[in-house]
């Protein structure tokens, strides 16, 4: 179940603990590569760890999937990245 790892990763992001967030976000995606929340969390972790190439590749991959729930969750992450929302 990837959700607990992704939730904890977002808590770490809020605490500005990027390395720990990235570790947990990657673990959550490893458990279920199709989990929308986990993928959005991983994109955020990439962003806050100064990994724009990986972040952008993941966003592009999700947008190409045409899965509306994946795209919706990723849009939330994009809004945070573009500073339209706070984490």
Fold of the domain built from segment(s) 3-81: 1.25.40
- Return the pLDDT at 25: 98
- Return the pLDDT at 87: 84
Phi, psi of 15 (to 5 degrees): -85, 5
- Return the pLDDT at 23: 98
Domain residue limits, the chain? 3-81
CB burial string 24-60: b at 16+ within 10 A, e below: bbbbbbeeeeebbbbbbbbbbbbbbbebeeebeebbe
Measured distance CA(81)–CA(66) in Å, rounded: 21
Residues in the chain: 87
Per-residue pLDDT 10s for the chain (87 aa) are 999 999 999 999 999 999 999 999 999 999 999 999 999 999 999 999 999 999 999 999 999 988 888 999 999 999 999 999 988
- Return the pLDDT at 45: 98
H/E element, 85 = none
Q: Quick one: residue 17, left, alpha or beta (phi over 0 = left, psi -120 to 50 = alpha)?
A: beta
């Amino acid at each position: 179940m990837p959700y607990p790892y992704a939730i904890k990763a977002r808590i770490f992001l809020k605490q500005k603990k990027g390395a720990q967030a990235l570790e947990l976000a990657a673990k959550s995606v490893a458990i279920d590569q199709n989990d929308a929340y986990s993928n959005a969390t991983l994109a955020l972790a990439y962003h806050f760890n100064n990994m724009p190439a990986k972040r952008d590749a993941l966003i592009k991959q999700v947008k190409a999937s045409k899965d509306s729930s994946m795209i919706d969750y990723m849009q939330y992450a994009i809004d945070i990245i573009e500073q339209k929302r706070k984490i």
